[in-house]
């Protein structure tokens, strides 16, 4: 009975930590939460100061039994779940189940899964932080009250099967509001004039754009005004009235927070927030690196801090000097100011060791892991590098009273851009080199173009811009952005069209119902205030039950009013192009327990329904017919032949066009602990495609 037991959430994390601690420690995984509120009831005793009723989660019984046995035989138990509210709550639940004293030094935390961080955490073991537990508990109960009280009303007044969430409802509103802005937008006409000019000395050409009249800015609103300018400057010389030379310094972006990582991975890699967090979790928990075993490659991934440890900063500066030279290392280390209200409990997301450069460990990573790790690694290094310096030139020209301007920019010193340039949602500034020009010189126009344009409505949100908006408005926290977006898409309130998030008709109807009956729940400022109050619970400024009490009274009154007085909402059916073979009507799309299906609009007179057939571009390996994506009774996707039952081919994994190079069999796309990969269907063969470059099949899987 000399072993020390360490409990973490995931098997991957257990494997990595176990390697660091050695044989005197036993590391086991709880597989996430072990207790939660019951699904069958609200699970909160509202009249008893909002006391929660926790039960053991289904499927966790065997796991808990194993942990209990290990704890009974251990001399000491350490709870090593993630270093945030959710992780603290999991540790508290485990302590409750195992009868551990929550005030004893049973809790260990580390920001990165490295040997030194894990061993140091044991030296710094502490009691469970009930402030964090209470903040998580308050959020969980708050979300349960909203979901379980509003969802039945949506069932009765709108449609069966609908549900509402506190943060998800606000996110849906933000997207619906933007769509309404787009629909109501009235484009305004404007015109641009661009002159292609040639200066006499070097006979080089450059472009200048119309700015205004006699040095004052003027917008060209119509064709008549534009034609008047064109007629006036036709065949006239352009005289250079001013040349301004200057320099521009561009600072590197700070290392990643959860929000900025999700945004940049969306822009640069095309990852959804859910995919980004899944891959980042793998990199955090540990990857088997050749010769080193399991290594946690990045620091903790749920953070809104831009702070980094001084040891990591010094290591980065030394590495930059060796790789790029001393001029790329700033005289003083770069420090960044976080956004107002950001929690500073954890560092920014960074590599755990600069020696693990992406190229050196590429063969140990999947294509997706490599691309995300490279993004994190290079962003971190760039954040500690010197500024980039650019030479700027602004040339002002006059032609018959009309003012034109040409702007040039060229790199003097590349600085941090030698390794990384931040992605942007708007147009990027391009390097433009102008010829040597001087005040008083004249140029003649080789060509003058005019172009009619119209102002554009605000763009639809992408996952990147929605995460940015949620963060700026104070909605949610780092751990909530990804599940919030996934939830509103899965519920059918929002659809992904390419990279854009577009409200569905169902989303509009539910949002309208929420606005009319639960305005505070979908109010951005109110939701942000609730987030601040949850932060106050964590800081012990307010009791968690008081937050719930203040919210619940007015909220429950609105629930009772809506239940009695809210008029029902009708969702118009989306008409398909498929004719009902029984009665000739055009079938409509319906949403059932297992997703979308086709139904006759003449129900109940005609009860014809059809499954929506989704063919994949891969022939059946048995008969050559088309393969169809289907769903099991439990809603799990699988792939079968369209000629079923004549042909019985079936696969839980998505088939690919690739033939196995060993046995000639069909290769399928699988999802493993370290991401997706392609393997032979034939278990006796067992061939796995090891190409780390993202295949077409992986790209298709990512888009699903």
Low-confidence ranges of the chain (pLDDT < 70): 1-2, 201-202, 340-345, 424-429, 591-595, 633-635, 672-675, 690-704
What's the pLDDT score for residue 698?
43
Domain co-membership, 489 together with 552: yes
The answer to whether residue 311 sits within a structural domain is yes
Model pLDDT for residues 147-197, shown as the tens digit of each residue: 999 999 999 999 888 899 999 999 999 999 999 999 999 999 999 999 999
The answer to whether residue 490 sits within a structural domain is yes
Domain co-membership, 303 together with 371: yes
Give the tokens for residue 20: 């660091």
Tokens 């609105």 appear where?
558
Task: Give the residue from 349, 366, 383 where a domain finishes.
Answer: 383
| Terminal Cα-to-Cα distance of the chain (whole angstroms) | 49
What's the pLDDT score for residue 54?
96
Domain co-membership, 80 together with 160: no
Q: Do 688 and 679 form a contact (C-beta atoms < 8 A)?
A: yes
Domain co-membership, 108 together with 172: no
Model pLDDT for residues 355-384, shown as the tens digit of each residue: 999 999 999 999 999 999 999 999 999 999
Count of CA atoms in the C-beta half-sphere (13 A) of 625? 14
Domain co-membership, 552 together with 511: yes
CATH number at residue 93: 3.40.50.140
Domain co-membership, 210 together with 102: no
The answer to whether residue 329 sits within a structural domain is yes
Domain co-membership, 230 together with 268: no
Task: Give the residue from 128, 148, 171 where a domain finishes.
Answer: 128
Strand locations in 472-521 (E): 494-497, 500-503
What's the pLDDT score for residue 426?
54
Nearest residue to 432 (alpha-carbon basis) of 410, 411, 405, 412: 410
The answer to whether residue 643 sits within a structural domain is no
Question: In which domain, by residue range, is 298 found?
Answer: 258-383
What's the pLDDT score for residue 152?
94
Handedness of CA 287, 289, 292, 297 (dihedral sign): negative
Q: Do 390 and 248 form a contact (C-beta atoms < 8 A)?
A: yes
Domain co-membership, 293 together with 403: no
Give the tokens for residue 103: 């005030």
Q: What are the Cα distances from residue 38, in Å, to 56, 137, 538, 589?
A: 9, 14, 25, 33
The answer to whether residue 630 sits within a structural domain is no
What's the pLDDT score for residue 690?
64
Tokens 């987030």 appear where?
531
Q: Do 95 and 102 form a contact (C-beta atoms < 8 A)?
A: yes
What's the pLDDT score for residue 703?
40
Q: For strand 76-79 and strand 4-8, is the pairing parallel, antiparallel, or unpaired?
A: parallel
DSSP H or E stretch at residue 17 = helix 11-21
Domain co-membership, 9 together with 114: yes
The answer to whether residue 637 sits within a structural domain is no
Domain count, the chain: 6
Domain co-membership, 500 together with 553: yes
The answer to whether residue 325 sits within a structural domain is yes
Cβ-in-10-Å burial (0-12, 13-18, 19+) of 264 comes to: buried
Label residue 50 left, alpha or beta by phi (over 0 means left) and psi (-120 to 50 means alpha).
Answer: left
Active site residue 336: no
Domain co-membership, 407 together with 346: no
Tokens 């909402």 appear where?
569
Nearest residue to 300 (alpha-carbon basis) of 103, 526, 35, 113: 113
Task: Give the residue from 350, 383, 416 where a domain finishes.
Answer: 383
CATH number at residue 276: 1.10.290.10
Catalytic residue among 300, 370, 420, 639: 300
Q: Do 111 and 83 form a contact (C-beta atoms < 8 A)?
A: yes
Q: Do 69 and 75 form a contact (C-beta atoms < 8 A)?
A: no
What's the pLDDT score for residue 466?
96
DSSP H or E stretch at residue 317 = helix 310-324
What's the pLDDT score for residue 545?
96
Domain co-membership, 289 together with 232: no
What's the pLDDT score for residue 1?
47
The answer to whether residue 641 sits within a structural domain is no
CATH number at residue 499: 1.10.460.10
For the residues of 124-170, what is the DSSP string, one character each? T-B---HHHHHHHHHHHHHHHHHHHHHHHHHHHHT-TT----HHHHH
Q: What is the pTM of this model?
A: 0.82
- Helix axes 524-538 and 130-157, enclosed angle (nearest 10): 150
């Amino acid at each position: 009975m000399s072993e020390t037991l360490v409990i973490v959430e995931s098997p991957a994390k257990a494997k990595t930590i176990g390697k660091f601690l050695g044989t005197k420690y036993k590391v086991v995984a709880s597989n996430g939460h072990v207790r939660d509120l019951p699904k069958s009831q609200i699970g909160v005793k509202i009249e008893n100061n909002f006391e929660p009723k926790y039960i053991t989660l289904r499927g966790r019984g065997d796991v808990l039994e194993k942990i209990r046995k290990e704890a009974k035989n251990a001399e000491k138990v350490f709870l090593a779940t993630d270093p945030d509210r959710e992780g603290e709550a999991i540790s508290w639940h485990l302590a409750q189940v195992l009868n551990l004293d929550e005030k004893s030094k049973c809790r260990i935390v580390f920001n990165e899964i490295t040997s030194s961080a894990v061993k140091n955490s044991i030296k710094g073991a502490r009691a469970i932080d009930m402030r964090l537990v209470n903040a998580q508990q308050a959020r969980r109960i708050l979300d349960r009250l909203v979901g379980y009280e509003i969802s039945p009303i949506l069932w009765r007044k709108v449609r069966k099967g609908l549900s509402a969430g506190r943060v998800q409802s606000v996110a849906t509103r933000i997207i619906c509001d933007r769509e309404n802005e787009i629909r109501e937008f009235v484009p305004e006409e404007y015109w641009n004039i661009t002159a292609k000019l040639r200066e006499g000395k070097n006979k080089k050409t450059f472009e200048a754009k119309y700015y205004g009249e006699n040095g004052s800015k003027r917008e060209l609103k119509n064709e008549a005004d534009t034609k008047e300018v064109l007629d006036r400057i036709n065949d006239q010389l352009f005289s250079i009235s001013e040349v301004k030379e200057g320099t521009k310094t561009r600072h590197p972006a700070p290392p990643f927070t959860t929000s900025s990582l999700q945004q940049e991975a969306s822009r640069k890699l095309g990852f959804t927030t859910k995919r980004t967090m899944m891959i980042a979790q793998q990199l955090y928990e540990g990857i088997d690196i050749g010769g080193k075993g399991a290594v946690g490659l990045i620091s903790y991934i749920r953070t809104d801090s831009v702070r980094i440890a001084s040891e990591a900063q010094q290591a980065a500066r030394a590495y930059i000097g060796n790789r790029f030279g001393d001029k790329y290392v700033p005289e003083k280390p770069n420090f960044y100011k976080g956004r107002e209200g950001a929690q500073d409990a954890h560092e920014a997301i960074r590599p755990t060791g600069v020696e693990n450069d992406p190229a050196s460990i590429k063969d140990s990573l999947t294509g997706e892991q490599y691309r995300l790790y490279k993004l994190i690694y290079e962003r971190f290094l760039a954040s500690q590098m010197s500024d980039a310096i650019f030479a700027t030139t602004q040339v002002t020209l006059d032609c018959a009273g009309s003012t034109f301007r040409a702007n040039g920019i060229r790199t003097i010193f590349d600085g941090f851009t030698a390794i990384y340039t931040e992605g942007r949602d708007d147009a990027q500034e391009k390097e433009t080199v102008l010829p040597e020009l001087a005040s008083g010189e004249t140029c003649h126009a080789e060509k003058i173009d005019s172009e009619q344009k119209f102002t554009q409505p605000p763009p639809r949100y992408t996952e990147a811009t929605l995460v940015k908006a949620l963060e700026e408005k104070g909605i949610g926290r780092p751990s909530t952005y990804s599940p919030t977006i996934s939830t509103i898409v899965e519920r059918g309130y929002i659809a992904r069209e390419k990279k854009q998030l577009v409200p569905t008709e169902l989303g509009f109807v539910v949002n309208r119902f929420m606005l009319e009956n639960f305005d505070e729940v979908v109010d951005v400022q109110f939701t942000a205030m609730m987030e601040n109050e949850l932060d106050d619970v964590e800081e012990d400024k307010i009791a968690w039950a008081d937050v719930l009490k203040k919210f619940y009274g007015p909220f429950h009154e609105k629930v009772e009013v809506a239940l009695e007085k809210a008029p029902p909402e009708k969702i118009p059916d989306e008409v398909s192009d498929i004719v009902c073979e029984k009665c000739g009507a055009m079938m409509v799309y319906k949403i059932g327990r297992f997703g979308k299906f086709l139904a006759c609009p003449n129900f109940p007179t005609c009860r014809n329904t059809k499954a929506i057939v989704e063919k994949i571009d891969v022939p059946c390996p048995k008969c050559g017919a088309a393969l169809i994506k289907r769903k099991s009774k439990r809603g799990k996707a699988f792939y079968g032949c369209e000629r079923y039952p004549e042909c019985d081919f079936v696969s839980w994994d998505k088939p690919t066009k690739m033939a196995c190079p060993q046995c000639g069999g069909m290769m399928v796309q699988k999802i493993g602990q370290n991401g997706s990969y392609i393997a032979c269907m034939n278990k006796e063969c067992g061939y796995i495609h090891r190409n780390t470059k993202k295949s077409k099949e992986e790209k298709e899987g990512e888009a699903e």
